């Protein structure tokens, strides 16, 4: 069975940092493109960052320059380092895996940026 365990979310003050983790099981991790999506109340789910199987990356303009996505294939884990956090970063962040038409989602982890 496929499972994603997300961690690292929580409450942080504006300007602070968080590192989100997504630990995957039940898939051949190295084959999958991995990504982080987020959804704020009343808004559509949007791509935050993606890292492909070849480790190429894509970032949303809103987080470019202050976020970094990475993966450790030996640990079957993907990370998102977020710095200089803003209130508009507040959302539920979801781990996503994609390969050969197969797509899986994590349960989501809440990130709240507030003073």
Q: Tell me: the pLDDT tens digits for 34-46?
A: 999 999 999 999 9
Residue 19: predicted pLDDT = 98
As a whole number, the mean pLDDT across the chain is 97
Residue 80: predicted pLDDT = 98
pLDDT one-digit tens code per residue, 45-101:
999 999 999 999 999 999 999 999 999 999 999 999 999 999 999 999 999 999 999
* Best CA proximity match to 37, nearest among 50, 53, 54: 50
Q: At 73, list the tokens.
A: 């294939």
Residue 54: predicted pLDDT = 96
pLDDT one-digit tens code per residue, 7-34:
999 999 999 999 999 999 999 999 999 9
Tell me how far the alpha carbon of residue 63 is from its chain's centroid: 12
The C-alpha angle 92, 97, 98, rounded to 5 degrees, equals 130
């Amino acid at each position: 069975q496929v499972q994603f365990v997300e961690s690292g979310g929580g409450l942080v003050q504006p300007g602070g940092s968080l590192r989100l983790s997504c630990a995957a099981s039940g898939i051949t991790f190295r084959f999958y493109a991995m990504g982080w999506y987020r959804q704020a109340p009343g808004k559509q789910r949007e791509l935050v960052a993606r890292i492909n199987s070849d480790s190429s990356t894509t970032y949303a303009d809103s987080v470019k320059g202050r976020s970094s996505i990475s993966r450790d294939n030996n640990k079957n884990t993907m990370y998102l380092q977020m710095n200089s956090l803003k209130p508009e970063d507040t959302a539920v962040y979801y781990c996503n895996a994609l390969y050969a038409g197969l797509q899986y989602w994590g349960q989501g982890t809440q990130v709240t940026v507030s003073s």
